Amino acid sequence: MDKLGDLRGRVAQGHRERLDMKRGIVWRWNPAKGTGVVRTDPGTLVWFHISALDDGTADIGMPVDIEVDPTPQGSFSCRAFHVTRSIPASWHN
């Protein structure tokens, strides 16, 4: 089983303590490769794969909430396990 599959298995079993929730924006997106980068509010760059996206689409500048796995991915210090569109604060009651 690959590392991502192993992580998903642990999350499915309730072992979510490794993951950290962050808010950010899609900073880079390469639809041909299905990979992108989110810049979090503190400025951390987090790699993600299309399989982490809720709806399989991303746009540069799109606000997102991500679950961060501290496992390095290439030149990035961490990667996103799950990426969802953020609801802008102005939409909250």
Contact 83, 75 (CB under 8 A): no
DSSP state of 56: S
Q: Is the pLDDT of residue 19 over 50?
A: yes
On the question of pLDDT at 12 being above 80, the answer is: no
The model's pLDDT over 49-59, given as tens digits with 9 standing for 90+, comes to: 999 998 888 99
pTM of the model: 0.74
Asked whether residue 73 carries a pLDDT value surpassing 80, the answer given is: yes
- Of 66, 17, 14, 19, the closest CA to residue 45 belongs to 66
- Which of these, 71, 78, 75, lies nearest to 24 by C-alpha position? 78
Give 10's contacts (C-beta < 8 A, 6+ positions apart).
18
For the chain, list the domains and their CATH numbers. 3-88 (2.40.50.140)
